[in-house]
Structures are given as C-alpha cells and as structure tokens.
Chain A
Amino acid sequence: KQEVTQIPAALSVPEGENLVLNCSFTDSAIYNLQWFRQDPGKGLTSLLLIQSSQREQTSGRLNASLDKSSGRSTLYIAASQPGDSATYLCAVRRRANAGNMLTFGGGTRLMVKP
C-alpha cells in the first residue's frame, strides 16, 4: 500500500527566505506526483505536476523535483512571501490505475512572517 509522508508538518520562516518542503513515498511505481496548495477554508489548487519520466518542473518561484528511485520529491520556494502562507500537499498517482486515484500526504503548514 502506498504511503506518502511530508516533513515537516509545520514550518515558520521570515519573508525572503528560500525553503524546501519534503515529500516521501513508499512505492516507487508511480505514474506522476503533484504538489497542491490549500488555503484555510478553501479547496486545493494544483501547483506543479511531475510525470514519472521527469526530474523536475518549474513555475515562477516554485521548483519541484522528483527522485522516483529513492521515493522522494521536494518543493523549493524561492524568496518566500507572506502570500505563500498556506498548507502544501503532495500526492502521488499509482501507475495506470483506472480512476486516476491520488494518495495524499498529510501536508506541510507554512507560515511566512513579514
């Protein structure tokens, strides 16, 4: 059974810092991995999706990497801003499952202080 773990569970940093969020998964036979952002009381917004054949994806100040063999992904946020404060979730899709089902980690709650 696939298990996804995110460390740390919570993180507080001053504005302007570069930071790394970690995600690990137990079964390397994944189809893809996604990073989501969740704001309090809101739904999830997809940030980056990495296919199993890719090593990284970039969007603005965000960079996500994937090392499938070691079961790890990192989300790098450059020059953090207070508006980045949210919970970040990673999710993996098992290889070629019929329902595009995702297994989620527990999330990292990020606070960026002005």
Chain B
Amino acid sequence: NAGVTQTPKFHILKIGQSMTLQCTQDMNHNYMYWYRQDPGMGLKLIYYSVGAGITDKGEVPNGYNVSRSTTEDFPLRLELAAPSQTSVYFCASSYLRQGETQYFGPGTRLLVL
C-alpha cells in the first residue's frame, strides 16, 4: 500500500489565483481530513469527510472548499489565494473503529506571493 499520497509537494501561487491540492489514499478508509500547519504551530483542521459525498467544516475552513466523490480521493480547493494561506497542508485518513489512528500524507508546502 502507498498509504496517503499528496501532490504537489511544493507550489508557489500568486495572490488571487486558485489551485487544487490532491490527496489519495489506498487503505479504503472512510474518514479523510485536511489540516494546515503554520511554522512552529500544531495542525489545524480545515475540512473533513466521513465518507463519499459527505464533507464538513473543521476549525479553519474559510477560503477553502472540498469534495469527496470517491472513497480514495479528497481534493482541497483554494479559491482566490491569499498570503495567509501560505502553509504546509497535510491530508490524513482513518478508520473510525480500528484504533482511530490517523495516517498522514507527506504534506504540500504552499507559498502564496
């Protein structure tokens, strides 16, 4: 199993542009998450999904959108990028009932200039 994969690894975005961060998991997990991590800080939840077709807001959803059309994929869309969205973005997945450990991808480093 590849686990949780994210693309791209690094991207520079201009203010006002939009882009989609990709996340795929091959563990058949029902739960998927998007977090952001700012320098020296812990992770904050942006959006999560409990299954295909079901998404909900986390702690810091403003400026982002998500969709979950399949079990495997959970893309994060940034609309009208702002410098405040410069961060490292992590995708994670889990089963709710199997120890509840979340498995994380390697992250996408995003710079908005």
Residues of A participating in the B interface, judged by any CB pair closer than 8 Å? 4, 9, 32, 34, 41-46, 49, 89, 91, 93, 98-107
Contacts and interface: CB of A to CB of B under 8 A. Distances in A.
A93 B100 contact: yes
Interface-central residue, B50, B99, B102, by most chain A CB under 10 Å: B102
A89 B50 contact: no
A12 B45 CA distance: 30
- The interface residues of chain A, by DSSP majority, are classed as strand
Contacts, number: 66
Interface of B: 4, 31, 33, 40-45, 48, 50, 56, 58-59, 90, 92, 94, 96, 99-107
Contacts of B33: 99, 101
A100 B100 contact: yes
Contacts of A41: 106-107
A104 B58 contact: no
